[in-house]
Amino acid sequence: MNGFVSRGFTGRRRTPEELADRLPPGQYAESGWPVLTAGPTPDISTDEWSFRIDGMVGQEREWSWEEFHELPSETIPADIHCVTKWSKLGTNFGGVSMDVLLDEAEPLDAYTMVYSYGGYTTNLAIEDLTDGKAWVVTEHEGELLPREHGGPARLLVPHLYFWKSAKWVQGLRVMDHEEPGFWESNGYHIRGDPWKEERYWTD
């Protein structure tokens, strides 16, 4: 396959040089924010929303919307990369670091399944959720996170493809083994590192 050139293709949409090194292989920069969801959009009010950590933990924890907002929050500048090839560079979220949440629950094992209102799941290793790599976010560019983008709250794990950043997030279960979540069971890579182009099972 090496050496194949598409006859007559020159490339119309090259990324400006100053951004090129922030774009993983096979991705292009998109200024909008496309919506990709497998089913209808759930409607979760902040009254009924809570975030829970359970499974193999020292201490099960659950935060209501009010309790969650008493936790230390931060603004997170991020580049996000969707497996469908678009990337959105330099966008800002507001939320709580997963380090803060996991510290309170004391995970005893290395794997998790993140689950959402509406039934979505995605698997993540504890390693990919700690040391300032993951957040539960409730704001985007200073506004409440829109429902179609996962509001009231979604996971944010910008160093992996964006399907890992579960919308309408409800909780996280710590497990002693790795199990594929929704897209990971439907042909997508178990980890999903965009820099290694881990899109599908066979990548």
Partner 1 sequence: MDGLISEPLTPVAQKAPGHWLIGTVTSIKQETPRVKTFRIELPMWMPHLPGQHYDVRLTAPDGYRAQRSYSIASSPIDEGEIELTIDRLEDGEVSPYFHNVLVEGDQVEVRGPFASYFVWRGEKPVLLVGGGSGVVPLMAILRHRRRTMPDLLMRLVYSVRNAEDVIYSDELGDDAVLTFTREPPEGWSGHRGRIDDGLIAEAGIDDGIAFVCGSNGFVEAASELLLEAGYDPRQIRTERFGPTG
> Which residues, at least 6 apart from 133, have a Cβ–Cβ distance to it below 8 Å?
98, 157, 159
Considering only the stretches 12-20, 72-80, 104-112, 168-176, report the one whose residues sit in contact with partner 1 under the rule CB under 8 A: 12-20
Instruction: Please tell me the count of residues contacting partner 1 according to CB under 8 A.
Output: 43
Among 59, 75, 92, 186, binds partner 1 (CB under 8 A): 186
Among 48, 74, 148, 176, binds partner 1 (CB under 8 A): 148
Task: Determine if 163 is a binding residue for partner 1 (CB under 8 A).
Answer: no
> Rounded to an integer, what distance in angstroms lies between the CA atom of residue 166 and that of residue 169?
6
Task: Determine if 16 is a binding residue for partner 1 (CB under 8 A).
Answer: no
Strand, helix or coil at 195? helix
Among 74, 94, 182, 198, binds partner 1 (CB under 8 A): 182
Cβ 114 to partner 1 shortest distance, Å: 17
Q: Minimal CA–CA distance to 82: which of 201, 203, 196, 192?
A: 192
> Which residues, at least 6 apart from 30, have a Cβ–Cβ distance to it below 8 Å?
86, 87, 88
| Strand stretches in 128-168, DSSP E | 135-140, 143-144, 154-156
Nearer to partner 1, 23 or 110 (CB): 23
Compute the Cα dihedral for 154, 155, 157, 160 and give only its sign. Answer: negative
The site for partner 1 (CB under 8 A) is made up of 1, 4-14, 25-26, 28, 30, 32, 34-42, 82, 84-86, 118-119, 148, 182-183, 186-188, 199-203
